[in-house]
Amino acid sequence: MRIAVMGAAGRMGKTLIEAICQAEGVQLTVGTVLPDSSLIGADAGEVAGVGRLGVPLVATLGEVKDQFDLLIDFTSPETTMENLSFCAEHGKKIIVGTTGLDDEQKAHLAACAEKTAVMFAPNMSVGVNVCFKILDTIARTLGDDYDIEIIETHHRHKVDSPSGTALRLGEVVADALGRDLKECAVYGREGQVGARTRKEIGFETIRAGDVVGDHTVLFATEGERIEITHKASSRMTFAKGAVRAAAWLADKEAGQFDMQDVLSLR
């Protein structure tokens, strides 16, 4: 499997290149940076800190379209939309880790998945995906008696809020309880907001320092509370998940998948 990494000089881009180098059966053949980057032509491996790979960074996928089979994209929603169109048109598989997609952008992703294989997950770590699974069971078992709050902490550079993972955690527990997250989500309370309603799901966001990604789902009632917490201490956990997904997508021609599919957790 020949892999292209979009945004090769980004935090995840560099970690993805390292993860691809460590894995069997996959090879980095393309790395991209923005057209105005001073890194165009630089070696992707040297930029990622893993040593020379003989892969010069390029500005666009069009100039290397015969050199890769699958694109891994952890960039921004706008860039991801363009990449989805490119991959659908040129028969390339694509793994999307970018978060902060709005409904229209998710619809575009779904439309492209009718033409090529798309894996889209807000968090590619095994641990978070196991949490999604057990949270469904916990929420169904506890029912409506327990207040649910979701707290996430990320590094100071993160631009979207709440995190994609926090929103997916909210969807998982809302679905388990027969609620619509769009109707019951409450974001960042401030001022005289009144007592909490029974069925709301609260989100709190913290941005500080170099935190890779912490998520807690709190279930609380009178007399007890449960906290399910996942803490990522290295971006390698996300990158390894993406590379695992790349191998899993090898025999898929089209369709939309997520890490629950890759990990057989459905």
Ligand X SMILES: O=C(O)C1=N[C@H](C(=O)O)C[C@H](O)C1
Ligand Y SMILES: NC(=O)C1=CN([C@@H]2O[C@H](COP(=O)(O)OP(=O)(O)OC[C@H]3O[C@@H](n4cnc5c(N)ncnc54)[C@H](OP(=O)(O)O)[C@@H]3O)[C@@H](O)[C@H]2O)C=CC1
Given the residues 65, 158, 199, 252, select the one marked as catalytic.
158
Residues 43-81 as b/e (b if ≥16 CB within 10 A, e otherwise) read bbbebbebeebebebbbebeebeeebbbbbbbbbbebbb
- Of 90 and 158, which CB lies nearer to ligand X in the complex structure? 158
| The residue type at 108 | H
Q: Is 77 annotated as a binding residue?
A: no
- Of 79 and 256, which CB lies nearer to ligand Y in the complex structure? 79
Given the residues 92, 154, 215, 230, select the one marked as catalytic.
154
| The residue type at 32 | T
Alpha carbons 240 and 253: distance in angstroms, whole number: 22
- CA 61 to chain centroid: 21
Picked from ligand X, ligand Y, none, the partner binding residue 116 (CB below 5 to 8 A depending on kind) is none
Q: How far is the CB of 207 from ligand X (least distance, A)?
A: 10
Q: If 0-12 CB within 10 Å is exposed, 13-18 middle and 19+ buried, where does residue 261 land?
A: middle
Answer yes or no: 90 catalytic: no
- Of 160 and 214, which CB lies nearer to ligand Y in the complex structure? 160
Residues lying near ligand X in the complex (CB under 6 A): 99, 122-123, 154, 158, 163-165, 213
CA distances from 157 to 129, 209, 235 (A): 24, 8, 14
Q: Is 52 annotated as a binding residue?
A: no
Torsion region of 126: left, alpha or beta (phi above 0 gives left; psi -120 to 50 gives alpha): alpha
Q: Is 165 annotated as a binding residue?
A: yes
Picked from ligand X, ligand Y, none, the partner binding residue 56 (CB below 5 to 8 A depending on kind) is none
- Of 154 and 179, which CB lies nearer to ligand X in the complex structure? 154
Q: Which of 72, 25, 69 is nearest to 48 (CA)?
A: 72
Answer yes or no: 230 catalytic: no
The residue whose Cβ lies closest to ligand Y is: 10
Q: Is 8 annotated as a binding residue?
A: yes
Residues assigned a catalytic role:
154, 158
**Binding site for (S)-2,3,4,5-tetrahydrodipicolinate, residues?**
155, 164-165
